[in-house]
Structure 1
Amino acid sequence: MPTRRTVLGGAAAIGAAAAITGLSARTASADGTTGNVTQAQARDNIRAVDTGMRNNYDALRANVINQLDPVIVVNNDMQGGTYYLISKGTVLETIQPVDEVFALAKSIAHTPLGIFSICAPSLDPNNILSSQTAYIDQHDLQMVAFNGPGNTGWIDSLQTFSNTLDTARQTLESANLPGDTNGSLHDACAYILDKAHDYIATTIRNREFDMQSFENFTADVYPSIRTNMYWSSRVQIDGVSKLMTRWRSQVGGAWSGLYVVVLSIWTTYVQNQNSIILKNFMDQKQVPTHLIDLMTAQTPTDPVHIALDNLARIVQDNIAAEMVFSTDQPTADALKGQPDLLSTEILKLLGTGSTAANASSALTKGQLTQIACPFHNRASALRA
């Protein structure tokens, strides 16, 4: 029995054959009439096909944007996420559902990174801890440590940052930070700030920034940083869950078809915290196709437009894939997903195969690192 794909494929082949009957390169021309044409004109005619396709594709996408419903767009910002509820191109509500504690806890937890950012250019690339050699790329290190160990231009900036930390410490009591059986956010912040003050004072006095002393400092404050991470996560879960419960009730039956687009920069793109929480409130059958993590080069100025524009492209490609490539499911799947449409053919020509498994095996070490948690990799290596 012929399948839908074989029937559609046969019909497409017959239609294509009929369309090209009697047509030859000799009779084609730049203006569509018969006669001789130059190679440049002929090639311009070919390119015009793609231009026409793209114009029609863009028109379809613009119309699809106004049909998408319901949609939640999340801009993964420093406040834990700005959420937009959208119906047919109209923003119904915009809200930042996460308590301010999220940003406060992360702010103090970023203290070691702030110190590193000032002093890193003056690292000594030739003096690496033996425990770090397996995890630090020497070329990357040279790119960051561009001043070298003899430079002390970091001292003034580090003192300025220390003054900022000291001010936060002196007023910490008035911030009324929470605490529970998992730890006091106030105490964790106080410990980080106190230890940072001591470390900076010693570093400035020695006029030297080295990896050993910095690693000793970060190891000391890490348990407190974990407490801050707990509080950021706790209030984000609480805030997003409360909002999703309200919006789900508000949307009603249409919720089962919910699209969610989360925009984040590369460093938070994989296992984004908002995506992890949100998927628990979606129709689980829809999560693989309706929850979209969209990577951006930087925080977008118009997250709604970017999200809807990309979502419309994804939605119409999902339908086009099955109809345009009705006889080839792997190619249809490529158009529907993230792989480039030519990826399987390129892999085949390069001798690495054309299956999804082979495509995965063809990833470089760097690409594999990007889709895995480096801390998990390191922990596994240490246990081995």
Structure 2
Amino acid sequence: MATRRKFIGTAAAVGAVTMLGTTQASAEEAVVDAATDGAALTDADAARKREARDAILAVNVGMRSNYATLKTELIKKLTPVIIVQNDAKGGKYFLVHNGQTISEQPISETFELAKSIAHIPLGIFCIIAPYLNKRVPPEHLTAGDMFPHDLEMVAYVGPSTTNWIAPLQEFDRTITTARQKLEDARLPAQLQASCANILDKAHNFIENSVRDRSFTMQTFEAFSGAVYGDIRTNMKFASQVQIAGVKDIMTRWKAKVGDTAWKELYVVVLSIWTTSVLNQNSIILKQYMDQAHVESHLLDIVTAQLPTDPVFTALDNLARIVQDNIAAEMVFSADQQVANALKGKQDLLSEEILVQLGGKSTATPAAAAAAATCPITGKGQATTALV
């Protein structure tokens, strides 16, 4: 294996450092660059300049085209891969294995039923939020747990109107119907009891608010606080059936794939930002993967919204990751730190930007010293380190 050389250092250690086309220039060089770029040119010189720059940019266009070609072909070879699309039902699971894709929704309906009732306080909040008072209550100001500007934006109407009454009554009709039919759903006794209490207290809050033609943040929080224990009960039941469902499908799919191939399994979990950290599916899934590969082969990918084609979205991202894993070691054979950046989430320019902004680079002093030494001659370099 090639000896690795760190070439990202501090400005003091290596002077002006060129990395991936970005130069940390001295003040004098920056002035010269600016003067040259803004100098008056004849039409012929300007045309040659544009032509030369376009020729340089064409190199990157070519690289990206070749990168896309490799990725397109690699997508067809990715196996085995499990893809999870987080949804209201607990997650849709896809297995990509040897060119075939199968899918299942492995979580019991109890998951969705329990969460449906637990979401009632949030449902009420979404109706009344625009009509809240824009001033943060003293208790929240003291706690520092609510940004005043956030509240001002959410409460964009304010308490000057009662236009919230009609939609709140409409939601109450939905709540009342669910309460009337709750026993026929044949839920476990403890879950049925917690659902009943949430439904009853939600109806009471709505009834009182409509009667008084007003509500406050405090009255809503009194309601939501009173049903918190019941929400926790619903969360317990939802978690239990999700764990059981994932265990079942992972056990069956492992038998289908085989122990040898399973060790190389990639798992891609697609979620939106608000559920991307400690995602429930990821927590459960890692228990059934080869533990030596969990850190590198369990991938949580955040999407702006749940994609309509989760398999393609997952495989497209995974192909980038897999080919970058190999490219990183070959392209940056001189620097493990930068290779690791290409293989992970770190932007390749992050170290240099940190240095230029006066922040701390993660490069070690030894790396900075190595950066100032030519790997071929062993002599000190002037001002640049070439990739």
Same fold (TM over 0.5): yes
User: Which of 328, 332, 335 is matched with 2:335 structurally?
Assistant: 328
TM-superposition CA deviations, 1:195-236 (whole Å, max 9, x none): 000011111111112111111111100000000000100000
Give matches, 1:1-16, under 5 Å.
4-5=2-3
Is 1:219 matched up with 2:225? yes
Contact 2:97 2:257 in 1 (8 A): no
Q: Which amino acid aligns with 1:221?
A: V
Is contact 2:4-2:335 (8 Å) kept? Answer: no
> What SS class does the counterpart of residue 125 from structure 1 fall into?
coil
Q: Distance in 1 between matches of 2:363 and 2:76?
A: 34
Q: Residue 94 in 1 paired to residue 103 in 2?
A: yes
C-alpha spacing 1:88/1:57, structure 2 compared with 1 (3 Å): farther
The whole-number CA distance in structure 2 between the counterparts of 1:191 and 1:282 is 39
Q: Take 2:159 and 2:362, find their aligned partners in 1: how far apart are those partners?
A: 49
1:106–1:229 contact (8 Å) kept in structure 2 = yes
2:349 pairs with one of 322, 342, 355? 342
Structure 1 residue 134: Cα displacement: 0.8
Residue of structure 2 equivalent to 1:292: 299
Q: How does 1:93-242 map to 2 (within 5 A)?
A: 93-131=102-140, 133-179=143-189, 184-242=190-248
Change (3 A) 1:243 1:175: same
Native 8 Å contact 2:201 2:223 kept in 1: yes
Displacement of 1:129 in angstroms is: 4.1
Q: Following the alignment from structure 2 to structure 1, what is the Cα–Cα distance between the partners of residues 171 and 262?
A: 47
Whether the aligned pair in 1 keeps the contact of 2:270 and 2:303 (CA below 8 Å) is yes
In structure 2, do the counterparts of structure 1 residues 129 and 194 end up closer, same or farther at CA, with 3 Å as the change threshold?
A: farther
Question: Which amino acid in the other structure matches residue 62 of structure 1?
Answer: T
Change (3 A) 1:127 1:343: closer
| Structure 2 partner of 1:243 | 249
Q: Which runs of 4+ in 1 moved over 2 A?
A: none
Does the CA-based 8 Å contact 2:129-2:154 persist in structure 1?
yes
Which residue does 1:63 correspond to in 2? 73
The answer on whether the counterparts of 2:136 and 2:151 sit within 8 Å (CA) in structure 1 is: no
The residue type equivalent to 1:121 in the other structure is P
Q: Is the 8 A contact 1:75 1:303 kept in 2?
A: yes
**CA root-mean-square deviation:** 1.8
Q: State the AA in 2 paired with 1:122.
A: Y
2:323 corresponds in structure 1 to 316
1: distance between equivalents of 2:97 and 2:71? Answer: 16
CA–CA separation in structure 2 for the residues paired with 1:232 and 1:108: 11
Measured in 2, the distance between the counterparts of 1:77 and 1:89 equals 25
Q: Is the 8 A contact 1:325 1:331 kept in 2?
A: yes
Q: Structure 1 residues 214 and 5, CA, compared in 2 at 3 Å: closer, same or farther? A: same
Match of 1:351 in 2: 358
Q: Structure 1 residues 312, 127: closer, same or farther in 2, change over 3 A?
A: closer
Tell me if structure 2 keeps the 8 A contact 1:129–1:211: no
SS at match of 1:38: helix
TM-score if structure 2 supplies the norm length?
Answer: 0.81
Could you state the TM-score of these two structures normalised by the residue count of structure 1? 0.82
SS at match of 2:268: strand
Unpaired runs of 5+ in structure 2?
8-45, 365-387
Once residues 278 and 195 of structure 2 are traced to their aligned partners in structure 1, the CA distance between those partners, rounded to angstroms, is: 26
Unaligned runs of 5+ in 1: 10-35, 358-384
- Where 1:293 maps in the other structure, the secondary structure is strand
Could you tell me whether the CA contact under 8 Å between 2:351 and 2:362 is conserved in 1?
yes
Contact 2:81 2:96 in 1 (8 A): yes
**What is the correspondence of 1:359-370 to structure 2 with a 5 Å cutoff?**
none
Correspondence for 1:278: 285
CA distance in 2, matches of 1:89, 1:150: 60
Amino acid at match of 2:65: N
The letter of the residue matching 1:57 is: Y
Q: What is the alpha-carbon distance in structure 1 between the residues aligned to residue 363 and residue 132 of structure 2?
A: 42
1:6 deviates by: 5.0
Contact residue 120 and residue 202 of structure 2 kept, 8 A: yes
Q: Which has the higher contact order (CA 8 A, sep 6+)?
A: 2
Match of residue 32 from structure 2: none
